[in-house]
Amino acid sequence: MSGNGEEFAVREPLERWLAARLPDARDVRVAQLRKPGTGMSSDTLLFDLAWTDAGGTPRSQRFVLRCAPRGTAPFPSYDLGLQYRVMRGLARHSDVPVPEVVGLEEDASLLGVPFLVMRAVAGAAPCDFPPYQRADADDVYAKASPGTRRRMWRSTVAALARLHAVDWTKLELGRIDGGNPGDDAHTDALRYWRDYLVHFVKRDPSEPTPVFDEALVWLESHRPEPERISLVWGDAKIGNVLYEENGDVAALLDWEMTRIGDPEMDLPSLHLSDLRAQETAGGVLDGTPSARELVSMYEQASGRRYRNFDYQLVFATFWRGSVALAVMRQMEDAGREIAPDYKLRGFPTRKLCELLDLPAPG
């Protein structure tokens, strides 16, 4: 928090809101509002909650406040309610590890934006900056033994397999991309990212976007037919996972990009985000699996053959790169100068050129 005034503006209404949802609690007090070490696309705060129960016993617990973004954001819309319903549904109807949600407030008048509250989960998440693949990083991944790192990946892939096996129709998700009346879950993800590039990244639909325009044409002409449809995590990366000390998954976090679609989208996204960490760190730590090893882990955990990893890796590179382009455009609109070379030769652009054998933009 930036100051006492800002903290009070959150703490006081949050205390009243929580007191109304804890009917047996008295003297509800919020303290130690603070930012966690990870998270970029929405405002997330940790806080300690203390109260006295009906028997007069003092209680305390750590919670998480997750708010919708204030101001510009990487996405044209933001559905915090869907994130709440996904975590609630998975907790009730599956063994997929997610935080326990306490409540959702969609009235923005209380804190200025909609928000949800969930119980904090003990564990640590690998950090993007500095990258967790850097050997000297003060990070749960860098400090782990190669065997523990391997266990982190294996337990993450196993959690993905369990997620994809869930009957999403029983989760009471409400509106969700790919699962709404009229949606085609087989094609909706590609349609969304096509529209994102054309109407959200570009200032004008006719504006050329080197490499990404060519990648979109390739994705549309090579799109495979999914073997099955499931709930998809969306932003799959180990930086969105809390791990126990032994490397087991404590919770999957950040459900803002969840949808109904081809479950094969998640594993290549997980791998691509790690390739970015490897490049930024200038190396890879022992215990990190290759793409082939990840596929083998998933096939063992799910009992299913993985069919289209290469296609989905291009897709993951395309959409992650599109988000990076959108963020850079927003920075430019805010008056910050972005070097053209940075936009043309960033990691996603170079990776797309490598995957599709395209010439580097000049």
226 pLDDT more than 80: yes
Confidence band for 216, pLDDT divided at 50, 70 and 90: very high
The whole-number average pLDDT for the span 29-34 is 91
Report helix, strand or coil for 34. strand
Q: How far apart are CA 291 and CA 342, in angstroms?
A: 27
Q: Give Cα 242 distance to the centre of its chain.
A: 12
Please tell me the CATH superfamily of domain 140-356, with its number.
Aminoglycoside phosphotransferase (APH), C-terminal lobe (3.90.1200.10)
| Single-letter amino acid code for the residue at 43 | D
Please report, rounded to a whole number, the percentage of residues in the chain having pLDDT higher than 90: 80
Closest CA to 163 of 89, 240, 271: 89
* CATH no. of 4-119: 3.30.200.20
* Cα torsion 200, 114, 38, 158: sign: negative
283 pLDDT more than 70: yes
Q: How far apart are CA 129 and CA 126, in angstroms?
A: 9
Say whether the peptide bond before residue 205 is cis (omega within 30 degrees of 0).
Answer: no
Q: Are 243 and 125 in contact (CB under 8 A)?
A: yes
E-strand spans in 110-229?
115-119
Instruction: Kindly state the tokens that stand for 45.
Output: 């705060």
On the 0-12 / 13-18 / 19+ scale of CB atoms within 10 A, 3 is: exposed
pLDDT top residue among 215 and 1 = 215
The reported pLDDT for the residue numbered 38 is: 52
272: CB partners within 8 A, 6+ apart: 313, 316, 317, 320, 351
Listed by start position, the domains of the chain span 4-119, 140-356
Same fold, 4-119 and 140-356: no
The reported pLDDT for the residue numbered 340 is: 72
Give me the DSSP letters along 86-142.
HHHHHHHH-----PPEEEEE--TTTTSS-EEEEE--S-B---TTTTTTSTT-SSHHH
Decide: pTM greater than 0.75.
Answer: yes
The residues facing 25 across adjacent strands are none
The whole-number average pLDDT for the span 237-247 is 96
CB atoms within 10 A of CB 309: 16
The whole-number average pLDDT for the span 15-33 is 89
The reported pLDDT for the residue numbered 91 is: 97
The reported pLDDT for the residue numbered 72 is: 81
Contacts 24+ apart (CB under 8 A), 337-344: 344/210
* Weakest mean pLDDT among 42-46, 59-63, 150-154, 254-258: 42-46
63 pLDDT more than 90: yes
219: CB partners within 8 A, 6+ apart: 190, 311, 314, 315, 318
Residue count of the chain, please give it: 362
Question: Nearest 5°: phi and psi at 31?
Answer: -145, 160
pLDDT tens figures, 295-328 = 999 999 999 999 999 999 999 999 999 999 999 9
150: CB partners within 8 A, 6+ apart: 247, 287, 289
Query: What average pLDDT does the structure give for the chain?
Result: 92
pLDDT tens figures, 84-114 = 999 999 999 999 999 999 999 999 999 999 9
The reported pLDDT for the residue numbered 174 is: 94
